[in-house]
């Protein structure tokens, strides 16, 4: 699994470095390095999803992925249909088309909708802070706007072949990242319980320690689950007292 993680980091980083030379800008080098994170996160989510589908993940993660399987496949089919239309167009194929990126756009929409819906879910009779939801929605909308800007650059015909491929794949992977992230947040809030994926844990297992790793997240997960349980128990206690007074 460590090899898988190294590949998901090295491939987009090296590819981004090659592409950034074409742009000829330090800022663009930093941008391509930053967006490489989306490639890694999306690849890990897809790996986690695949393991769940073949029964090699926890029951909790399998329940999550089974619940979003339809949305994932619908978005994928829409994206593939768009790619097929571009590919079979009468005009000769050109890398100034945005067929690859088109496969990711449905996931962007699902991501924003999923985040907004997560804000409507109550945990222990309390909704998540609006500013948290607002932050995620704004982040997604900015990314969506950035995707349109760079795809317009591709459509203008100014992008090289490598730039076009890089931009389009980055759009796809960032859209997948937001899609899985939004759906997972919605699932956690509905379940009112959080668990870490054993598959993702195995990916990060054995890596050199970093300031904040996936394993350290277990402490936060346990604390959140305990807080939710305590809040629910407290509210039940208050509710039982209130009902007891009414009977009297």
The total number of structural domains in the chain stands at: 2
Are 84 and 25 contained in the same domain? yes
Are 89 and 136 contained in the same domain? yes
Are 197 and 80 contained in the same domain? yes
Report the alpha-carbon distance of residue 11 to residue 18 in Å, rounded: 11
Q: Which of 202, 200, 194, 185 is nearest to 219 (CA)?
A: 194
Report the alpha-carbon distance of residue 136 to residue 152 in Å, rounded: 24
Are 197 and 235 contained in the same domain? no
Taking the CA atoms of 190, 195, 196 and 197 in sequence, report the sign of the dihedral they define: negative
Are 202 and 139 contained in the same domain? yes
Report the alpha-carbon distance of residue 243 to residue 58 in Å, rounded: 39
3-state secondary structure of 209: coil
Report the alpha-carbon distance of residue 189 to residue 176 in Å, rounded: 20
Are 227 and 138 contained in the same domain? no
Are 134 and 231 contained in the same domain? no
Are 139 and 178 contained in the same domain? yes
- The domain containing residue 243 runs over which residues? 216-248
Are 137 and 229 contained in the same domain? no
Q: Which of 76, 77, 74, 102 is nearest to 89 (CA)?
A: 102
Are 227 and 204 contained in the same domain? no
What is the model's pLDDT at position 157? 84
Report the alpha-carbon distance of residue 232 to residue 140 in Å, rounded: 31
What is the model's pLDDT at position 21? 67
pTM, rounded to two decimals:
0.82
Neighbours of 116 (CB within 10 A): 16
Report the alpha-carbon distance of residue 161 to residue 212 in Å, rounded: 37
3-state secondary structure of 121: coil
Please report, in tens digits, the pLDDT of each residue of the chain (248 residues total): 667 777 887 888 788 777 776 555 666 666 666 778 888 899 999 999 999 999 999 999 999 999 999 888 888 888 788 777 777 777 666 667 777 787 787 888 888 888 888 888 877 667 666 778 888 888 888 888 888 888 888 888 888 888 888 888 888 899 999 999 999 988 998 888 899 999 888 877 756 555 456 667 778 888 888 888 888 787 777 655 655 555 55
Are 156 and 220 contained in the same domain? no
DSSP 45-112: HHHHHHHHHTT-S-HHHHHHHHHHHHHHHHHHHHHHHHHHHHHT-SSPP-TTS-HHHHTTHHHHHHHH
57 contacts 26 by C-beta, under 8 angstroms: no
Are 121 and 165 contained in the same domain? yes
Tell me which residue has tokens 């089919």. 77
């Amino acid at each position: 699994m460590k090899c898988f993680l190294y590949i998901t980091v090295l491939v987009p980083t090296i590819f981004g470095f090659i592409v950034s030379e074409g742009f000829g800008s330090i800022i663009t080098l930093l941008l391509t390095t930053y967006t490489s994170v989306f490639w890694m996160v999306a690849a890990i989510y897809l790996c986690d999803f695949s393991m769940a589908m073949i029964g090699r993940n926890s029951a909790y993660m399998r329940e999550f992925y089974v619940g979003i399987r339809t949305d994932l496949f619908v978005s994928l089919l829409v994206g593939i249909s768009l790619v097929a239309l571009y590919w079979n167009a009468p005009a000769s194929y050109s890398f100034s088309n945005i067929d690859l990126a088109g496969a990711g756009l449905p996931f962007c929409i699902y991501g924003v909708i999923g985040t907004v819906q997560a804000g409507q879910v109550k945990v222990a009779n309390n909704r998540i802070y609006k500013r948290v939801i607002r932050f995620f929605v704004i982040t997604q909308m900015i990314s969506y706007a950035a995707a349109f800007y760079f795809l317009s650059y591709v459509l203008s015909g100014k992008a090289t072949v490598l730039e076009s491929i890089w931009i389009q794949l980055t759009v796809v992977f960032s859209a997948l990242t937001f899609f899985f992230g939004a759906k997972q947040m919605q699932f956690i809030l509905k379940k009112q319980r959080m668990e870490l994926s054993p598959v993702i844990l195995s990916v990060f297992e054995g890596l050199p320690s970093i300031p904040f790793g996936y394993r350290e997240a277990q402490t936060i997960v346990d604390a959140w689950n305990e807080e939710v349980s305590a809040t629910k128990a407290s509210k039940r206690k208050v509710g039982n007292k209130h009902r007891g007074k009414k009977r009297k």
